[in-house]
Amino acid sequence: MEQKEPQPTLWAEVVGVLRGELRDYTQGSMARSILLLAIPMVLEMFMQSVFELADAYFVGQLGAAALGAVGAGASLIVLVFAVGFGLAMGVTAMVARRIGAKDRDGANAVAMQAILVVLLVSVPLAVPGLLFAPEMLRLIQAPESIVKVGSSYTSILFGTNGVILLLFMINGIFRGAGDAVLALKALALANALNIVLDPILIFGWGPVPAMGVTGAAVATTIGRGVGVTYQLYLLFKGKGRIHLQLTQLQVLWRVMRRFIALSAPAMLQMFIATASWMAIFAFIGAFGEEAAAGYTVAVRILVFALLPAWGMGNAAATLVGQNLGANQPGRAEHSVWVTSFVNMVFLGIVALVMYLFAEHLMHLFTQEAGVVAVGASCLRIISYTYVLFAFGMVMTQAFNGAGDMWTPTWINFFCAWLIQLPLAYFLAFTMDVGVSGVFAAIATAQGLMAVVGVVVFRRGRWKTRKV
């Protein structure tokens, strides 16, 4: 009687995935698939946020105006992030579907066309920041002290937006292919350089002159640039499922049109969300420098805490895309529900930590009492709906992974623009609640987004999308 080969232990599989071993996520245990895909994606998202956290930590030592400048610049650069996330969502959906269908050549073609699109898009995006950085900061109601300090920071980030876009988009390729560990390695390298260069360029060490807030932008750009160089090395050496060659460096209009058509609503989805956050910063900026600085630090803490949840959402997107490509819609749906419940437990724990230790978390970045008070209020109020938000995050990514970009776009528009912004203005200014009213509006919109997302997901129309 033939003996079955022993199944590898979970730990052995985790180690294997982190070493870059390939795995088929359309077969086998769903729980293991989610875990093995989520671990490198969660770590990748942690790496993504370390850029902003490192900048906030070092710049925070220069005072509230410098910290507010980083927050204001970040509120504008999210426009670039919106394009990057949109392109990444499009390429993840297309690559995942083709990997699930065992069409490696098709996945390679999509990856190359996506890189060409990024190179074309980055040029016009650089112009506004290079020429009009001070005017853009004033547009979001940043105080003049912040405009003075933050203009060069904003200009540098916009001028080098191509590096940001490539970093996001190529990591989207890796995620769609199920090679999330490659994305993790690229971000780890980029972050290591940023952390080393931040204090050198911000404060000036040895012969290097102190550049202040501008130094944070330079350090981040250098780190990301090296990360992108490593990503391209991995793609052209075929270290994962995607293997590009210079002979593929040509425009395939059918593939490029399909990629743009899929990414356009994804970019619109992110523009809707990020533009609403710019408006939120403008509301908060109206309450002064300390309010802007407190919100800046709080958002970085919130983003860092949410990254594992975003990582699980990205895992759900990849599983949905690959399993739809393998013609297994039932398995795709099951992966979303399992991931959502895991996410709910995690964000419930995060919410409790935020509520109990808000001031302690703020003190890690600043000792200014007014800044700490605003940030602690933000952490507590927004965390109230985290348990619901856990479902909203996964549902949104599941739609995107299926190639159904329009559904989360409309959900974002309804919750962010028709609910969050009017409610924030009403509570903060009409009812004179102040910045706490803005935070309450954010929490309300998060909860509503989750409820709407679950209702629409259960209808199942996303299963029939063609990518």
pLDDT surpasses 80 at 319: yes
What integer pLDDT is reported at residue 140 of this predicted model?
77
Q: Identify the weakest region by mean pLDDT among 35-49, 78-92, 190-204.
A: 35-49
What integer pLDDT is reported at residue 411 of this predicted model?
93
Query: pTM value?
Result: 0.84
Q: Within 13 A of 59's CA, how many CA atoms are on the CB side?
A: 33
Question: Is pLDDT larger for residue 428 or for residue 145?
Answer: 428
pLDDT surpasses 60 at 128: yes
CA distance 430 to 407: 32
Query: Which of 47-56, 128-137, 146-155, 342-351 tops mean pLDDT?
Result: 342-351
| CB of 226 closer than 8 Å to CB of 189 | yes
Mean of pLDDT over the chain: 89
Q: Any idea what DSSP says for residue 430?
A: I
**Residue 464: partners with Cβ closer than 8 Å, 6 or more residues away:** none
**Residue 4: partners with Cβ closer than 8 Å, 6 or more residues away:** none
pLDDT surpasses 90 at 375: yes
- Tens of pLDDT, residues 152-173: 999 999 999 999 999 999 999 9
- Tens of pLDDT, residues 83-125: 998 899 999 999 999 999 999 999 999 999 999 999 999 999 8
What integer pLDDT is reported at residue 2 of this predicted model?
47
What integer pLDDT is reported at residue 1 of this predicted model?
42
With H, G, I as helix, E, B as strand and everything else as coil, classify residue 101: coil
pLDDT surpasses 80 at 46: no
Token pair of 8 as six digits: 């590898």
Q: How far is CA 42 from the centre of its chain?
A: 11
- Tens of pLDDT, residues 397-407: 999 999 999 99
**Full DSSP string of 43-64:** HHHHHHHHHHHHHHHHHGGG-H
Mean pLDDT of 418-445: 94
**Residue 207: partners with Cβ closer than 8 Å, 6 or more residues away:** none
Whose CA is closest to 60, among 129, 137, 188, 149?
149
